[in-house]
Amino acid sequence: MLVDSKAAAVAAKWERASEGVNTESLRGRFNWTDIVYFIALMAAAIYFLVEWPDSMDIYEKVILLCSPFAVVWVGWLWRPLRAYMIATFVLAAFAVLVYSGDLSKGDSNFFLKYLLSSQSAVLWMCALYFMSTIVYWFAFANKNLAWMGSAFAWAGTVLGSVGLLVRWRESHLIAFDMGHIPVSNLYEVFVLFCLITVLFYLYYERRYNTRALGGFIMLVVASAVTFLLWYTFLRDAATIQPLNNALNSWWMKLHVPANFVGYGTFALSAMVGFAYLVKLHGETTTWRPMIPLLLIGGALVAEPLMFSSRGDYALWFIYFGLSVIVVAGILVCRKRIAASLPSFEVLDDIMYRAISIGFAFFTVATVLGAFWAADAWGTYWQWDPKETWAFIVWLNYAAWLHLRLMKGMRGQVMAYWALAGLVVTTFAFLGVNIFLSGLHSYGEL
């Protein structure tokens, strides 16, 4: 812990460590390809306005027309994102064209049934994320495999995004007035959570020119994918349902995505904190300093056992056992893993940036949620269990940032704090839905 008089010196050290950040591959000169990209996006936006004018209100039309400017700007800031957006749009547009307004083609057309229908694309996302996780960890033994982990992560992200976009269209094909943005239930937001977490990781992977964190970040994504598969096949969660009155709101389209940028970046920061602690204890021969890490890790892998209250005990005990084995294996091999991880300064910087971005979006999401509550229930805040725990999550990361910025705290304490924050965030995300009923109980298990 470094505070007060040491803060300036430590900050300078951190800034020097960031000088080697790879920015050339993130952003290039604005050129003719950006202009072509903008023209294509604007043409698509105008097409949507002409084709479906009655499906959007005036605010949505304005947002649609402004989106090409924002998308081109973001694609310029991070070049790989542009390729991701193009691939996602092309595949989603192809799927929509193949459907041709007939939802039954999802069971008869080869491309839809096995690749591009919403559920097929999401299942491919799950498989590719599992493959990415495995390859990233094998890369600690053979660094030549690391690029494959990134490739699988990108491919999974493209197909997951296609799945959500196609699901949006499928909801309209079921019934025109039933169509809605796919962020309305646990199945959909878990897909969104995985996509956001992986996208932010891939950005930091390119920015800091290191793939050594991929295995750590993909562990939390693989855990989310495990839940998603369980929820899909044993709870039939992939079925598209009509929205209830409270969810049928324009606010949902803003509140939920902003909220999950927060959840995704908080999860990312926690796993970076885990990597920080593994590196810190890489040369330690005694297990005593790692007792807090084992306790927090145990709490994280034990949390899914809460689902056993709904049955499926064997499945979740198998998950718990495998999780313990994975965590134990990481700690046993910590010396070799630690040697491959980036410096403490880089790990701390990623952790700080992720929490900063997540806190900003989570704050905006909370404010938007208050406006939504006022519109739906006539009051901005009711101390509903979900609202209360959202406030606890907000206070947790506000305190983390305050001590980081005002007191210069860094290092082991902040890494443990970020990791423990994932326990709090997970309960706010899932635990409230299971144990505490309230106005926000839309994603029951």
Q: What dihedral do alpha carbons 140, 144, 150, 156 form, nearest 10°? A: -100
The DSSP string of 111-158 is: HIIIIISHHHHHHHHHHHHHHHHHHHHHTTT-GGGHHHHHHHHHHHHH
Instruction: Give 85 or 16, the one with higher predicted confidence.
Output: 85
pLDDT exceeds 80 at position 186: yes
Instruction: Give 59 or 397, the one with higher predicted confidence.
Output: 397
Would you place residue 285 in the very low, low, confident or very high pLDDT band (cuts 50, 70, 90)? low
Mean pLDDT of 176-191: 86
Instruction: Give 248 or 149, the one with higher predicted confidence.
Output: 149
pLDDT exceeds 90 at position 396: yes
Would you place residue 352 in the very low, low, confident or very high pLDDT band (cuts 50, 70, 90)? very high
Distance (Å, whole) CA 235 – CA 118: 17
pLDDT exceeds 70 at position 437: no
- Look at the block and give the residue holding tokens 């602690």: 277
pLDDT exceeds 80 at position 311: no
Q: Could you read off the pLDDT of 45-69 as tens digits, one per residue?
A: 898 888 877 777 787 788 888 888 9
Paired tokens of 342: 């980036």
Q: What is the pLDDT of residue 172?
A: 87
| pTM higher than the cut 0.75 | yes
pLDDT exceeds 70 at position 27: no
Would you place residue 2 in the very low, low, confident or very high pLDDT band (cuts 50, 70, 90)? very low
pLDDT exceeds 50 at position 392: yes
Q: What is the pLDDT of residue 359?
A: 96
pLDDT exceeds 50 at position 7: no
Would you place residue 268 in the very low, low, confident or very high pLDDT band (cuts 50, 70, 90)? very high
Mean pLDDT of the chain: 83
Half-sphere exposure of 306 (CA within 13 A, CB side): 19
